[in-house]
Amino acid sequence: MSLHYGDPQIALGVVFAVLVLLLATAFVVIAVQAGSEVGVERVHDVGYWLRKRWLVLLIVVGVLVVGISLFDLPYASGGAAGRTVVKVTGGQFFWSLQPGSVPAGTRVRFDVTAVDVNHGFGLYDPHGHLIGSVQAMPGYHNKLDLTLSEAGVYRIRCFEYCGLNHSTMQSSFRVTPR
């Protein structure tokens, strides 16, 4: 399997890189300015004026990002009607998927659990992009709804440390052409 960058992750990486660049610039500017002498009153006047706006900006960004994120939660809701339920069971150190394949375009509900310790069900699309992950925990069933529209082999890797062979605990799920 080859791994490639997934689109949402690239967007996150770019946003992060831009923010890091801005922060690094700010710290360099402040470090350079640290050598000069500015009166405390002046620093307070300007600093506190700017701080209010900084706080407002962070609150606005937070409300927007958190607010929008609530419309894209990965948690399954409602019954499984109209969905093909794929029972996923993790164990040291295997994955069991029933059924092991579905036709492309199927609305799937992954019903994920484990038999011994905590595991993580990480699903990669046929191009190696990480779609996402969900925990597999004994005694509990986590339900993940996805529509797998592209045919091919979807790779599964363990996403929660589970012991000696954690890094080789893999499996696959086949999506067949319609």
**Considering only residues 128-167, where is the footprint of other proteins by CB under 8 A?**
128-135, 137-144, 157-167
Tell me how far, at minimum, the Cβ of 104 lies from other proteins, in Å: 22
Tell me how far, at minimum, the Cβ of 67 lies from other proteins, in Å: 10
Among 76, 80, 104, 151, binds other proteins (CB under 8 A): 76
Tell me how far, at minimum, the Cβ of 105 lies from other proteins, in Å: 22
Instruction: Name the residue nearer to other proteins (CB basis): 67 or 177.
Output: 67
Contact indicator for 95, 89 with CB cutoff of 8 Å:
yes
Q: Is 69 in the site for other proteins (CB under 8 A)?
A: yes
Please count the other Cβ atoms lying within 10 Å of the Cβ belonging to residue 159.
21
Q: Is 35 helix (H, G, I), strand (E, B) or coil?
A: coil
Integer Cα distance of 19 and 17 in angstroms: 5
Q: Is 55 in the site for other proteins (CB under 8 A)?
A: yes
Integer Cα distance of 23 and 32 in angstroms: 14
Contact indicator for 176, 106 with CB cutoff of 8 Å:
no
Contact indicator for 145, 118 with CB cutoff of 8 Å:
no
Tell me how far, at minimum, the Cβ of 1 lies from other proteins, in Å: 7
Give the contact letters, 82-121, x = binds to other proteins (CB under 8 A), - = no: ----------xx----------------------xxx-x-
Q: Is 23 in the site for other proteins (CB under 8 A)?
A: yes
Length of the chain: 178
